[in-house]
Amino acid sequence: MSLTLLNVIVAVVIAIAFAAVNAAYLVWAERRGAARIQRRPGPNINGPFGLLQPPLDGIKLMTKQLMIPGGADKILFMVAPVLAMAPAIMSFVTIPFSAGIAAHNMELGVLVIFAFASMGAMAILFAGWGSRNKYSVMASVRAVSQNVSYEIPMLITAITVVMTTGSMDLKAISMAQSGGFWHWNIFPSLHSPLMPISFIIFFICSLAETNRAPFDLGEAESELVAGFHTEYGSMGFGLFFMGEYANIVIGASLTTILFLGGWDCPFGMFPGVWWFLLKIYLLIATFIWIRWTFPRTTIYGLLNLSWKILIPISLFNLLLTAGLLKVF
């Protein structure tokens, strides 16, 4: 594939548009979903079903004044929101939505996405440090320790999948699972009986990596005001939110590709991008559902879950898969 400048620009524009639309309407879906769970209607005044709420919120955010608190580190303060958003957009470039739809397929796609994902922690650290606000600093310390401890089990489960496929190419991983749901990596018969558990571990880790409830200790409103983005208003705040929702979409896409067969149809018919979208939006709906079900954990509970439960189990599954691959 020849990568001309035009190709790159088109790909990036599409990725930004996709991320922005997703962010706007996932906020809407989140608010409506939360409201339904709490037996309220949610935003329903602006437009049918409140569908005009996201653009109006966007206008509100964009017309606000950008404020930098006195004593803040100006450069870090301004860089942080961009750094939250940019890696998420870059990750979209490697994701194959179907056999033909991928901006730029890379052989090391899994690695690229994890590399970009780990930059998100940096954005949070910069935001917390640059704001010169003790709550922000506390929040970013928490968020970084959380990201570090959840990246390990996430990577281990990803390695398990990569081992069974023998490739880090996201497209190849999807292709290897085509032909009906019994070929998907989540189902145990083929490689290792612990694969469903690996899937759950990966899913939990992607919740934690995106700082979603019940793991949203980085923005624990009840104790840390608004966490690392306390001092941000206007579009700085908007970028953090777009970054968060773009990361959710990335997490769901990655889970779909690694465990749920990518764009493959469960019954072996009509493979295509719609199956991929259906799967990621189902996963995102589960994200929202989980957020409005569980209360926030404590930082100890969070770290214990990772180090005492997720890491040992995912390591065990890695060894088991390696052994089974050797035997068969």
Judged by CB under 8 A, the chain residues 37 through 76 that form the site for another protein are 37-41
Q: Are 105 and 170 in contact (CB under 8 A)?
A: yes
**Cβ-based nearer residue to another protein, 41 or 166:** 41
- Applying CB under 8 A, among 7, 8, 36, 134 the residue interacting with another protein is 36
CB of 313 to another protein, least distance (A): 9
- The token duo for 9 is 């620009």
State yes or no: residue 290 binds another protein (CB under 8 A).
Answer: yes
CB of 42 to another protein, least distance (A): 9
Question: Binding residues for another protein, how many (CB under 8 A)?
Answer: 14
| 3-class state of residue 260 by DSSP | coil
C-alpha to C-alpha distance for 97 and 319, rounded to whole angstroms: 31
Applying CB under 8 A, the span of 15-23, 29-37, 124-132, 160-168 interacting with another protein comes to 29-37
**Cβ-based nearer residue to another protein, 274 or 289:** 289
C-alpha to C-alpha distance for 206 and 154, rounded to whole angstroms: 8
**Cβ-based nearer residue to another protein, 46 or 178:** 46
Judged by CB under 8 A, the chain residues 106 through 125 that form the site for another protein are none
Inter-CA distances, 253 with 210, 273, 297, Å: 13, 12, 26
C-alpha to C-alpha distance for 140 and 151, rounded to whole angstroms: 16
CB atoms within 10 A of CB 59: 10
- Applying CB under 8 A, among 15, 24, 26, 33 the residue interacting with another protein is 33
- Applying CB under 8 A, among 134, 293, 298, 323 the residue interacting with another protein is 293
**Cβ-based nearer residue to another protein, 187 or 292:** 292
Q: Are 81 and 242 in contact (CB under 8 A)?
A: no
C-alpha to C-alpha distance for 176 and 215, rounded to whole angstroms: 33
CB of 217 to another protein, least distance (A): 18
Closest CA to 155 of 254, 271, 224: 254
Residues engaged in binding another protein (CB under 8 A): 33, 35-41, 289-290, 292-294, 309
